[in-house]
A and B are shown apart, each in its own frame.
Chain A
């Protein structure tokens, strides 16, 4: 059984159809990339999997380990192991990154029947991971994402991913707004998380990120549909040729 299975997913927003029957199966240990031009439903897909309000699923299923994800509230999905690295991470004034992380970690631990994390252990853990991601120590004392640069925000997303150890991680345009150095660091962070128990869904417009996070499968999303699937060479082909071929077909 696939770890995450998307079956014939149809989604509308405000009566307008965005996704027109997407089917994907992510096995544990795999990295899938979804590529496509702007406005083709890439972010809709990630939001629907994560459970954001405002999307109407008119048909289809999303299963995590065979469990119906769509029936769960957003926070239940997260605790079940669905992690979304946001394209635009949200700023929450006054809430320190550290308080936020601790609350999130404890929410997960509670769901797993584990005791809350010890304060010292937490600090040690976060510091170690921050170091890997090249983040300054005092970053967790700052309010969550407030005043963070684009690169800092994306690194903070990867830090959260590292700490929450999801089953399925969805990276929504994580490369947007990153310079090459930040891109390398973020990619390394993601690569260290690759494991036989975990699957990744990487949503991107450009092939650039896939030079650093090498996917097992690449899918082309156009007009709310997967119009082509292949290996990592498909991404290179798209980089060279663009989406024109698929756009005219759709």
Chain B
């Protein structure tokens, strides 16, 4: 059967080949725009097997049927995106020759965040020859992980080394038909991480803590797939507190998580992409589809996100709680300042019995920004004994911004219990004065109060990340008061 499909695919391929390649495969950059040729080019560049190319083309053809109709339900306004005006493949950027070439503002922020000098260079895109500690640490740990049976590699490599796993799971949680951006990603994704934790293994280190430097994926269209086999556990860190500059305005990542029986994945994100300037010019459009499937019983997926960057954030890390007794958790801090807009939240889909979910969302809006929590809690008819608890708090700083809460609660099971609470508040004059009376500057006071507001979420981050994230909260709100 599979063989038959492959043949059919090959025949289709040959037929389509007659339109020929318009792009030289040796080139570092595909021409602007999106077409089947571009997708073939990307696939060829990565030397992908036919089935992968087929999957991409299928997604692309589906995407075409959507006729440019992006989802319109989010509370976001941005100019129409011209998908033919973007580049979909480019070789890595030219490195800067030395630290002197780096934007001093960027370096100042690195300093405030307390990022070590060596890391700063890499983050800023400076070419470094010397092997510094963290890289060698990374190499050591990588070897150790391999010995334990952990597969942790770029997904483009996994396609070759573990095609059976990739075939089985890729697109199984976020199919290309899921939404406009997921279809686009499935067609053009360039790279991302692949993680497989074997049965019974508790991965002893936070993945990518040590790797964030040399395995940094700053691609436009990342694709991440993490599988925790029975009884396995892994904590995965994505992103970085350091501000990220990227010339590509459109980002559309897809992340899929799968937990089998008794497995657990903890996925933490800090997103600090370029938010645009104070007048709202520029900034990244970040359309992300993140979803985890708790397929096995007693399994658990926990999302923590700290979203401070991007001009537009459209992101709903979700959990499909299929296995009985499975648990989904979502902890979110979203900060918008100046002209940023964020529409973010989660979906908790309860299918199995005794499934539990918890949602803690903290939205902070300042400047002229809009910040929306949008969430869905759905209890299926078979989810006996399911439980959900949701707490959404919004904080407004100033009277030019907006904070919005749009929860959907849909229950079809009498034995399930859902509980949702939302509040809106501001930093009171009394709180500010109290802190100032104890000698803190206004900015220190705001940072302290907002960190307190976010505490429940920030404390779910791995230690090292948490400290930087706390500083980031303050930095993101600089200039928002007074």
Interface residues of A (CB under 8 A from B): 50-53, 73-75, 77-79, 82-84, 86, 89-90, 92-96, 99-100, 103-104, 107-108, 111, 143-144, 160, 164
B448 touches A53 (CB 8 A): no
A52-B433, A53-B433, A100-B448 known; A107-B453 Cβ under 8 A: no
Residues of chain B contacted by A92 (CB below 8 angstroms): 431, 434-435, 448-449, 452
Q: What are 6 A-B contacts with C-beta separation under 8 Å? A: A74-B433, A75-B435, A90-B434, A92-B431, A95-B448, A95-B449
* Assembly CA distance A143 to B448 (angstroms): 12
B444 touches A103 (CB 8 A): yes
B430 touches A95 (CB 8 A): no
Taking the closest CB of chain A, its distance from the CB of B369, in whole angstroms, is: 21
* Assembly CA distance A51 to B445 (angstroms): 15
* Assembly CA distance A74 to B439 (angstroms): 8
A-B residue pairs, 4 tightest by C-beta? A95-B452, A94-B452, A104-B438, A78-B439
* Assembly CA distance A92 to B235 (angstroms): 31
B439 touches A79 (CB 8 A): yes
B455 touches A94 (CB 8 A): yes
A53-B429, A103-B444, A107-B444 known; A94-B437 Cβ under 8 A: no
List the A residue with the shortest CB-CB distance to B457. Answer: A94
A86's contact among B434, B436, B452, B455, by CB below 8 Å, is which?
Answer: B434
B456 touches A94 (CB 8 A): yes
Taking the closest CB of chain A, its distance from the CB of B388, in whole angstroms, is: 23
B438 touches A164 (CB 8 A): yes
- Asked if B468 is at the interface of the complex by the 8 Å CB criterion, the answer is no
List the B residue with the shortest CB-CB distance to A84. Answer: B437
B452 touches A51 (CB 8 A): no
List the B residue with the shortest CB-CB distance to A145. Answer: B434
Residues of chain B contacted by A51 (CB below 8 angstroms): 436-437
| Residue count of chain B within 8 Å CB distance of chain A | 24
Give the most central of B434, B435, B437, B442: most A CB within 10 Å. B437
B456 touches A50 (CB 8 A): no
Taking the closest CB of chain A, its distance from the CB of B242, in whole angstroms, is: 23
B448's contact among A84, A90, A99, A164, by CB below 8 Å, is which?
Answer: A99
B439 touches A95 (CB 8 A): no
List the A residue with the shortest CB-CB distance to B445. Answer: A75
B433 touches A93 (CB 8 A): no
A94-B453, A103-B448 known; A74-B437 Cβ under 8 A: yes
Taking the closest CB of chain A, its distance from the CB of B460, in whole angstroms, is: 14
* Assembly CA distance A167 to B431 (angstroms): 23
List the A residue with the shortest CB-CB distance to B440. Answer: A107
* Assembly CA distance A78 to B439 (angstroms): 5
Taking the closest CB of chain B, its distance from the CB of A190, in whole angstroms, is: 17
Residues of chain A contacted by B430 (CB below 8 angstroms): 90
B451's contact among A83, A95, A160, by CB below 8 Å, is which?
Answer: A95
Residues of chain A contacted by B455 (CB below 8 angstroms): 94-96
Would you call the interface of chain B mostly helix, strand, loop, or mixed?
Answer: helix
Extra contacts, 5 of them, besides A77-B437, A95-B452, A103-B448 (Cβ < 8 A), are A74-B437, A78-B437, A96-B452, A103-B435, A160-B438
Residues of chain B contacted by A86 (CB below 8 angstroms): 434, 437
A53-B429, A89-B434, A90-B434 known; A164-B439 Cβ under 8 A: yes
Taking the closest CB of chain A, its distance from the CB of B422, in whole angstroms, is: 15
* Assembly CA distance A74 to B448 (angstroms): 17
* Assembly CA distance A175 to B439 (angstroms): 24
- Asked if B27 is at the interface of the complex by the 8 Å CB criterion, the answer is no
Taking the closest CB of chain A, its distance from the CB of B338, in whole angstroms, is: 24
B448 touches A107 (CB 8 A): no
A104 touches B440 (CB 8 A): yes
* Assembly CA distance A90 to B448 (angstroms): 14
A52-B433, A90-B431, A99-B448 known; A107-B454 Cβ under 8 A: no
* Assembly CA distance A84 to B430 (angstroms): 13
Q: Type the 1/0 row for B304-316, where 1 means its CB is closer than 8 Å to any CB of A.
A: 0000000000000
List the B residue with the shortest CB-CB distance to A160. Answer: B438
Residues of chain A contacted by B440 (CB below 8 angstroms): 75, 78, 103-104, 107
Residues of chain A contacted by B439 (CB below 8 angstroms): 75, 78-79, 104, 107-108, 111, 164
Residues of chain B contacted by A104 (CB below 8 angstroms): 435, 438-440
* Assembly CA distance A89 to B451 (angstroms): 19
Residues of chain B contacted by A53 (CB below 8 angstroms): 429, 433
* Assembly CA distance A187 to B135 (angstroms): 58
* Assembly CA distance A73 to B440 (angstroms): 10
A75 touches B448 (CB 8 A): no
Residues of chain B contacted by A108 (CB below 8 angstroms): 439
A92-B431, A107-B444 known; A143-B452 Cβ under 8 A: yes
Residues of chain A contacted by B434 (CB below 8 angstroms): 86, 89-90, 92
* Assembly CA distance A107 to B431 (angstroms): 17
Taking the closest CB of chain B, its distance from the CB of A168, in whole angstroms, is: 12
* Assembly CA distance A89 to B439 (angstroms): 15
List the B residue with the shortest CB-CB distance to A111. Answer: B439
Taking the closest CB of chain B, its distance from the CB of A104, in whole angstroms, is: 4
* Assembly CA distance A75 to B441 (angstroms): 6
Name the interface residues of B16-73: CB closer than 8 Å to any CB of A: none
* Assembly CA distance A79 to B444 (angstroms): 14
* Assembly CA distance A89 to B452 (angstroms): 17
Residues of chain B contacted by A160 (CB below 8 angstroms): 438
A94 touches B438 (CB 8 A): no
Taking the closest CB of chain A, its distance from the CB of B430, in whole angstroms, is: 5
* Assembly CA distance A70 to B153 (angstroms): 62
Residues of chain A contacted by B435 (CB below 8 angstroms): 75, 92, 100, 103-104
Residues of chain B contacted by A73 (CB below 8 angstroms): 436
* Assembly CA distance A160 to B435 (angstroms): 12
Residues of chain A contacted by B444 (CB below 8 angstroms): 103, 107
Residues of chain A contacted by B433 (CB below 8 angstroms): 50, 52-53, 74, 90
* Assembly CA distance A99 to B453 (angstroms): 13
A94's contact among B428, B445, B454, by CB below 8 Å, is which?
Answer: B454
List the B residue with the shortest CB-CB distance to A88. Answer: B430
Taking the closest CB of chain B, its distance from the CB of A165, in whole angstroms, is: 11
Residues of chain B contacted by A83 (CB below 8 angstroms): 437
